[in-house]
Chains A and B, each alone.
Chain A
Amino acid sequence: MSHSEAEIRKHVRVYITVFIALAVLTIATVLASYFHLPLKQAITLALFIASIKATLVAAYFMHLISENKVIHSILLLTGFFFLLLLLLPAMR
């Protein structure tokens, strides 16, 4: 990726925004845990927030949002097998 200077400066602003979002979400998920929601809701909420944070990191810090198809395909394939691996405890 060749980046022009202006582009990178724009990137930097995005990084700061993402950073603030990550911090807010971290505080939100910690606060939510103090409410002692029922286990199912607590797990869903915690994983939901974690997924948003992960998406932000992957999309902006790791530049996945503007990444090439080949990387996306590798991750798609990996994601499929990753889910399969997570399903493994259900296999009895």
Chain B
Amino acid sequence: MSDIAIKHISKPHPVTGVTNGKLGIWLFIASEIMLFGGLFSAYILLRTGSPSWPHGSSVLNVPLATLNTMLLITSSVTMVMAWASLALKNVGKFKFYLGLTILLACGFLIVKSFEYGTKFEHHHFPSTSTFYAVYFTLTGLHVLHVIGGIIVNAYYLFPGSKMWETNPEQFLCRIENAGLYWHFVDLVWIFLFPTLYLI
């Protein structure tokens, strides 16, 4: 149904100065902020109401999590580099950086699965204690977001990149929006890491 022209798909709206997609993705991020806000709020309430709470570093693997933090931060910078390369019309570099982003994200998942694996080996499950309940739920939901990001980025790396031939402007917008989402996933981790592991 591409026969009807919807305005401001790749040209910013004159008043707001952004495209439809960007406004949409920011609204989506706003709702995600509220989603994680609800979860963080639950975490604070349960922790303050609990007589004892383990120090994250005494039960969780901080070096692994630090590595994961580095992976995610790096993937964020490669994502933004992918966008910059595309803006410079360098498709080869774009594909390299986007591919790297996906690989780093996969690396994050692998490290995470090791982390989960050792927890399960030691019979630490979400049902073990409120701490583990919070830990598994928050990181698990974050992992789902990472997987979502991988799927989106993989789509733009392979089948979705055809759009570069037909409508480069819109494709650039799409990459920027995918990037916004990906940075948000990184941002959530930036808060999850210290609140769960370090304090």
Q: Do chains A and B touch in the complex (CB under 8 A)?
A: yes
Inter-subunit contact B194/A49 (CB<8 Å):
yes
Binary contact readout A40-70 vs B (1 if CB under 8 angstroms, 0 otherwise): 0011001101100110011011100001111
Q: Are B76 and A61 in contact (CB under 8 A)?
A: yes
Q: Is B167 an interface residue (CB 8 A)?
A: no
Taking residues whose C-beta sits less than 8 angstroms from the other chain, chain B's interface range is 35 or more
- For B46-70 the 0/1 string (1 means CB < 8 A from A) is 0011000000010000100010011
Residue of B nearest to A5 (CB): B88
One of B25-33, B138-146, B155-163 at the interface: B25-33
**B105 beta carbon closer than 8 Å to chain A:** no
Known interface pairs A8-B88, A82-B33, A86-B41. Does A61 touch B199 (Cβ–Cβ under 8 Å)?
no
Instruction: Kindly list chain A residues whose C-beta atoms are within 8 Å of the C-beta of B16.
Output: 68-70
| Docked CA distance A65–B179 (Å) | 16
B198 interface residue, CB < 8 Å from A? yes
Taken together as a complex, chains A and B put the C-alpha atoms of A13 and B159 apart, in Å, by 30
Query: Complex Cα distance A57/B185, Å?
Result: 11
Contact among A1, A18, A27, A85 for B77, CB-based, below 8 A: A18
* Contacts between chains A and B (CB distance < 8 A), count: 124
- Residue pair B34, A15 in contact (C-beta under 8 Å): no
In the complex, what residue of chain B is closest to A84 when comparing beta carbons?
B37
Q: Who on chain B is nearest to A56 by CB?
A: B190
Chief secondary structure at chain A's binding surface:
helix
* Distance of A69 Cα from B13 Cα, bound (Å): 12
Tell me which of B79-87, B111-119, B123-131 binds A: B79-87
Report B-chain residues with C-beta under 8 Å of the C-beta of A78. 30, 33-34
Interface pair A57/B190, CB less than 8 Å apart? yes
B14 to chain A, nearest CB (A): 11
- Cβ contacts under 8 Å, B174 to chain A: none
20 A-B residue pairs with Cβ-Cβ distance under 8 Å, sorted by A, are: A8-B84, A19-B74, A22-B73, A26-B193, A29-B198, A32-B198, A33-B57, A33-B199, A47-B194, A57-B190, A58-B183, A67-B18, A68-B18, A69-B16, A70-B23, A74-B30, A82-B33, A86-B37, A86-B40, A88-B45
| Apart from A15-B77, A57-B186, A62-B179: 13 A-B pairs, beta carbons within 8 A | A12-B84, A16-B77, A22-B73, A33-B197, A61-B80, A61-B179, A61-B183, A67-B18, A68-B17, A75-B26, A78-B33, A81-B34, A82-B33
Give me the 7 closest cross-chain CB pairs, A-B, nearest first: A89-B45, A46-B194, A68-B17, A33-B198, A78-B30, A85-B37, A70-B16
Interface on B for A, CB 8 Å cutoff?
12, 16-18, 22-23, 26-27, 30, 33-34, 37-38, 40-41, 44-45, 48-49, 57, 62, 66, 69-70, 73-74, 76-77, 79-81, 84, 87-88, 179-180, 183-184, 186-187, 190-191, 193-195, 197-199
